[in-house]
Amino acid sequence: MCYEIVKRAKRYKDQVAVYSEGEAWKYGSIIHRAQHFATLLLGQKEDLAEARVAFMVNPAVDYVSVQWAIWIAGGIAVPLCLTYPPPSLDYVIQDTAADFIVASDEYLPLLEPLCQGERPIRLFSISGMMHSRMFPEKSLPVLNLSRKAMILYTSGTTNLPKGVVTTHANIKAQIEMLHKAWKWEGKDRTLCVLPLHHVHGIINVVCCSLWVGATCIFFPRFDPKEVVELLEIPSLTVFMAVPTIYYKLITYIEGLSDRRAGEIKGNLLKKRLMVSGSAALPVSVMEKWYEISGHWLLERYGMTEIGMAISNPYRRGKRKPGFVGLPLPTVEIRLVAEDGKEIKGEPGEIQVKGPAVFQEYWRRKEATEESFTEDGWFKTGDTAVLLDGYYKILGRTSIDILKSGGYKISAIEIEEVLRQYEGVDDCSVVGFPDDEWGELVCAAIIRKENTMINPDVFLQWLLERLPKYKIPRRIKWVDNLPRNAMGKVTKKDLIPLFENI
């Protein structure tokens, strides 16, 4: 028995699964490629037996073929970020003790030196695999859903990245809950513009669409004009992106004529679902996107360790700006205080239970144990509050919840206010260690182009909207904010900016 997503794909073998590089690929063709690749990976073995297979493959049919090949051969898929420098790639490869690496040809010069250390690693090129002689036909291994399937690495915004291990059962649960909540159908067509080393792109876009016989259109490079034109295609029904992408699309559309912007809005209105995730969605971006497209973006909450956990409603119910919604099917949520006791009506740490929650951190037993309570709840490290039945994320407990002068302060709340100022383009708020206050509220702010901001006028404006203890005590005007591949601001990189102010 092969992994279930491949089994299901056999139902749709004559339907188009993927559009990539101007070519349509049917499910049957991808299954054939995956089986060929799996045979090459297995060699003389009957089962990869959870060997780690890292792969650095462009977002296209090759990515899906390699991912499926690893799974049906019994391996653990370890997708590598296409923009990582060699030390970051080497960290993941060595941490997972990868036995094989599969790569698009253009990445071979980057990866070859990393395969020649004390522990030899076999490197496969996509072109080489395509032209390799297939080994004699052999039965593929029988897989139990409890087998390990994938290792994804945390973003590392607050500490060293950890490998998050999910089983085939975890992935199945993550996909099925989104199918139920977001009503995926075989007639759906979705556009993938997200990196494929992260749960957002892998599960929410690619796996969800292919699970039900829908079509995934890969667009590996981001260009606002081309993405907008693709979104206008009538058959395209679902679009998912991070806030940074929506911001860039808004900027592009706002620069067009009223007539052209009107045409775009008319076409976007026909889409059935538009989702934002992977970082907090600024209310201002949500409101501007509604003006441009007629869609209130569906914001949801998830993370590498749990897949998706909370979502605004798809049809029944209101999507509230600044809120992430209600628990998804099969997910249990509770908020707890610092003493570990469950609380209601007050901010607390989000804890999660359910079949989608990951199995363990790779080879980090202590970190795994510390991340779960004795009764099996995963401690997310995120702080939220439940208001009128909807969850509102206040930020990472470790970096977005500042402790200053005895107050607990949400950096996200302050950022939302700062973005409302006419001259502010974007911003990020962090806490800088201070002996007297515990942490000082500090803000890195990007000014809008050709804009001057009077500090006294700005301060007075803030005092009219925030209590004094939430006003940034140190401000650094910057040209850009450091971000990771998913568009999240890496706040640890901002903190040194405030050292000598």
Q: Which residues of 238-271 are buried (b: 16+ CB within 10 A; e: fewer)?
A: bbbbbbbbbbbbbebbeeeeeeeeeebeebbeeb
Same domain membership, residue 386 and residue 304? yes
Task: Give me the mean pLDDT over the 178-207 stretch.
Answer: 96
Same domain membership, residue 392 and residue 446? no
Per the rule left: phi > 0, alpha: psi between -120 and 50, beta: everything else, 315 is alpha
What's residue 398's pLDDT? 77
pLDDT at 434 over 90: no
CB 158 within 8 A of CB 186: no
Residue predicted with more confidence, 328 or 438: 328
Gap between the Cα atoms of 469 and 346, Å rounded: 19
Gap between the Cα atoms of 327 and 314, Å rounded: 13
Residue predicted with more confidence, 402 or 308: 308
Q: What is each CA distance from 336 to 167, 341, 402, in whole angstroms?
A: 27, 5, 18
Task: Give me the mean pLDDT over the 347-372 stretch.
Answer: 96
Instruction: Round the average pLDDT of the chain to a whole number and report it.
Output: 92
Same domain membership, residue 359 and residue 276? yes
Q: How confident is the model at residue 397 (pLDDT cuts 50, 70, 90)?
A: confident
Residue 30 CA to its chain's centroid (Å): 25
pLDDT at 68 over 90: yes
pLDDT at 309 over 60: yes
Same domain membership, residue 228 and residue 136? no
The answer to whether residue 193 is domain-embedded is yes
CB 319 within 8 A of CB 313: yes
The answer to whether residue 228 is domain-embedded is yes
pLDDT at 156 over 80: no
The three state secondary structure string of 328-380 is CCCCEEEEECCCCCECCCCCEEEEEECCCCCCEECCCHHHHHHHECCCCCEEE
Same domain membership, residue 214 and residue 93? no
E strand segments, 388-423: 390-396, 401-404, 407-410
CB 416 within 8 A of CB 358: no
Q: Which two tokens stand for residue 112?
A: 């070859």
Partner residues linked to 25 by β-bridges: 18
Task: Give me the mean pLDDT over the 90-119 stretch.
Answer: 94
What's residue 135's pLDDT? 55
The answer to whether residue 97 is domain-embedded is yes
Per the rule left: phi > 0, alpha: psi between -120 and 50, beta: everything else, 322 is left
Gap between the Cα atoms of 141 and 297, Å rounded: 42
Q: Of the residues 396, 422, 454, which one is the last residue of a structural domain?
A: 396
The three state secondary structure string of 423-454 is CEEEEEEEEEEECCCEEEEEEEEEECCCCCCC
Closest CA to 171 of 195, 214, 207, 201: 207
Gap between the Cα atoms of 409 and 283, Å rounded: 18
Q: How confident is the model at residue 395 (pLDDT cuts 50, 70, 90)?
A: confident
Partner residues linked to 173 by β-bridges: none
Residue 116 CA to its chain's centroid (Å): 31
CB 206 within 8 A of CB 185: no
Task: Give me the mean pLDDT over the 397-402 stretch.
Answer: 83
CB 311 within 8 A of CB 181: yes
Gap between the Cα atoms of 381 and 371, Å rounded: 9
CATH number of the structural domain spanning residue 410 = 3.30.300.30
**What pTM, to 2 d.p., does this model score?**
0.86
Gap between the Cα atoms of 393 and 74, Å rounded: 38
CATH number of the structural domain spanning residue 34 = 3.40.50.980
CATH number of the structural domain spanning residue 210 = 3.40.50.12780
Same domain membership, residue 284 and residue 316? yes
Residue 473: which domain range? Answer: 401-498
Same domain membership, residue 266 and residue 201? yes
Q: How confident is the model at residue 137 (pLDDT cuts 50, 70, 90)?
A: low
The answer to whether residue 48 is domain-embedded is yes
Gap between the Cα atoms of 36 and 19, Å rounded: 20
Q: Are strands 348-353 and 332-336 parallel, antiparallel or unpaired?
A: antiparallel
pLDDT at 221 over 80: yes
Q: Are strands 189-192 and 238-241 parallel, antiparallel or unpaired?
A: parallel
Q: Are strands 163-167 and 378-387 parallel, antiparallel or unpaired?
A: unpaired
The answer to whether residue 478 is domain-embedded is yes
Same domain membership, residue 34 and residue 138? yes
Q: Number of folded domains in the chain?
A: 3
Q: Are strands 401-404 and 407-410 parallel, antiparallel or unpaired?
A: antiparallel
Provide the percentage of residues in the chain whose pLDDT is more than 90: 76
Gap between the Cα atoms of 103 and 124, Å rounded: 6
Q: Which two tokens stand for residue 107?
A: 């990445």
What's residue 473's pLDDT? 94
Which residues, including other chains, have CB under 8 Å from residue 201's CB and lie 6 or more apart?
Answer: 59, 192, 194, 195
What's residue 83's pLDDT? 87
Same domain membership, residue 246 and residue 136? no
Q: Of the residues 350, 371, 396, which one is the last residue of a structural domain?
A: 396
Gap between the Cα atoms of 218 and 239, Å rounded: 12
Torsion 62-64-65-69 (CA) sign: positive
Strand order in the sheet with 438-447: 424-434, 438-447, 474-477
CB 272 within 8 A of CB 237: yes
Same domain membership, residue 316 and residue 248? yes
Q: Of the residues 120, 143, 166, which one is the last residue of a structural domain?
A: 143
The answer to whether residue 169 is domain-embedded is no
pLDDT at 52 over 90: yes
pLDDT at 1 over 50: no
Closest CA to 428 of 439, 412, 404: 412
Gap between the Cα atoms of 474 and 498, Å rounded: 7
CB 56 within 8 A of CB 101: yes
What's residue 407's pLDDT? 80
CB 246 within 8 A of CB 285: yes
The answer to whether residue 68 is domain-embedded is yes
CB 399 within 8 A of CB 430: yes
Q: How confident is the model at residue 498 (pLDDT cuts 50, 70, 90)?
A: very high
The answer to whether residue 336 is domain-embedded is yes
pLDDT at 133 over 50: yes
Same domain membership, residue 372 and residue 254? yes
CB 142 within 8 A of CB 74: no
Same domain membership, residue 417 and residue 379? no
Closest CA to 294 of 263, 269, 312, 257: 269
